[in-house]
């Protein structure tokens, strides 16, 4: 299946479209609740639009899509309040989903089919969001410079043998904040801070760039290990661009904290997820869309096209993901990642993680 790349809308354009939606819904020509859904999405258009088009084909319900950065969309929802035209928010990382819940811009999704499809640890304990896909954050290592037998746990990355050999992005990235939050949940605040200090001491360079940049840095020898989401590695491996594909091929995936490694709690995972907004006017249609995104058909899209792991069991994944090998995931309820986010940021600040 091919995907046509679409640019992300600028914040100003998203704001203008949002205002247009608000006027349309409040005016005499507003559509009936069963005919449309207004979706704010922090996911790029090409990663969600094909599914939305399929939903419209099957149900006749139009989806009005606005894309933007997670922080900007949350701020827009807060500013619009009860007048927001948005019915659903799709964003990445449990930390961002928790922030939306804490800001009071979401409401519980209490649908039996949804709860049955999504494992409890991938749902907010109060029902304010549910996961749509899973991405893991393992250790990536240079095939030609690292013996995988030397690797074991996240905690072991503080060992002096890794000094000057690790690449990771900055502490202001929510992916890393959630990873540290998972360490706090597993090991406690003091141990997590000791770990963060040890990781910083072993960095090959100051944190910079995104996950793809860490992969490319390891490929050219700036470091030997990188922490990055599998979603990015899969996208690079499946790319037609040699500048993306070749660096990714130089690295391999190591699943840390597996049974027999440390406490064996499993690799740290996170999600993309969906929340029903507090202002939702088209609630019934919105919940139909949530149910659709959790059908086997939609879950297969995540597993075979998007480079992410389905939240439902028994869904086929791409050969690229299969090639990463099986793993045990941490079964921590991901709502804890959001609850511990502020503490994780403080830990990283005290550790000097730039």
Residue 37 DSSP class: E
CA angle 98, 99, 105 (to 5 degrees): 100
Q: How far apart are CA 335 and CA 273, in angstroms?
A: 12
Would the annotation count 232 as a binding residue? yes
What are the CA-CA distances from residue 276 to residues 97, 130, 183, 224, 321 (Å)? Answer: 11, 10, 29, 42, 30
Residue 267 DSSP class: B
* 125 and 264 Cβ atoms separated by less than 8 Å: no
Would the annotation count 154 as a binding residue? no
Q: In sequence order, what are the residues at sequence separation of 6 or more whose Cβ sits closer than 8 angstroms to the Cβ of residue 94?
A: 178, 270, 271, 273, 334, 335, 337, 338
Segment (H or E) for 49:
helix 49-59
206 is written with which tokens? 């100051």
Binding-site annotation, residues for Fe cation: 231-232
Binding-site annotation, residues: 231-232
């Amino acid at each position: 299946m091919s995907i046509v790349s679409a640019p992300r809308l600028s914040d100003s354009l998203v704001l203008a479209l949002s205002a247009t939606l608000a006027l349309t819904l409040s005016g005499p020509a507003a559509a009936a609740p069963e005919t449309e859904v207004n979706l704010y999405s922090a996911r790029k258009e090409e990663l969600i639009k094909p599914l939305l088009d399929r939903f419209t084909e099957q149900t006749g319900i139009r989806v009005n899509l606005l894309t933007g950065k997670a922080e900007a969309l949350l701020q827009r929802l807060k500013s619009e309040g009860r007048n927001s035209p948005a019915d659903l928010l799709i964003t990445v990382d449990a930390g961002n989903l928790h922030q939306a819940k804490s800001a009071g811009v979401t409401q519980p999704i209490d649908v039996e089919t949804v709860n049955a499809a999504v494992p409890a640890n991938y749902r907010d304990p109060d029902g304010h969001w549910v996961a749509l896909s899973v991405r893991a954050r393992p250790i990536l290592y240079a095939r030609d410079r690292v013996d995988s037998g030397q690797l074991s746990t996240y905690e072991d990355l503080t060992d002096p043998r890794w000094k000057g050999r690790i690449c990771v992005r900055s502490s202001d990235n929510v992916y890393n904040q959630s990873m540290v939050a998972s360490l706090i949940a597993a090991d406690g605040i003091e141990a997590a801070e000791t770990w963060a200090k040890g990781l910083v001491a072993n960095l090959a360079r100051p944190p910079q760039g995104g996950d793809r940049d860490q992969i490319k840095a390891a490929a050219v020898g700036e470091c030997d290990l990188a922490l990055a989401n599998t979603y990015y590695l899969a996208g690079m491996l499946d790319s037609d661009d040699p500048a993306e594909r070749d660096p990714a091929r130089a690295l391999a995936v190591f699943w840390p904290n597996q049974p027999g490694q440390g406490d064996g709690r499993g690799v740290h995972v996170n999600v993309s997820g969906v929340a029903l907004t507090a202002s939702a006017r088209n609630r019934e249609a919105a919940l139909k869309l949530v149910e659709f995104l959790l059908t086997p058909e939609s879950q297969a899209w995540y597993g075979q096209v998007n480079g992410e792991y389905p939240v439902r069991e028994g869904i086929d994944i791409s050969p690229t993901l299969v090639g990463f090998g099986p793993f045990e995931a941490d079964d921590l309820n991901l709502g804890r990642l959001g609850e511990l986010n502020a503490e994780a940021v403080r830990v990283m600040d005290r550790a000097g993680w730039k």
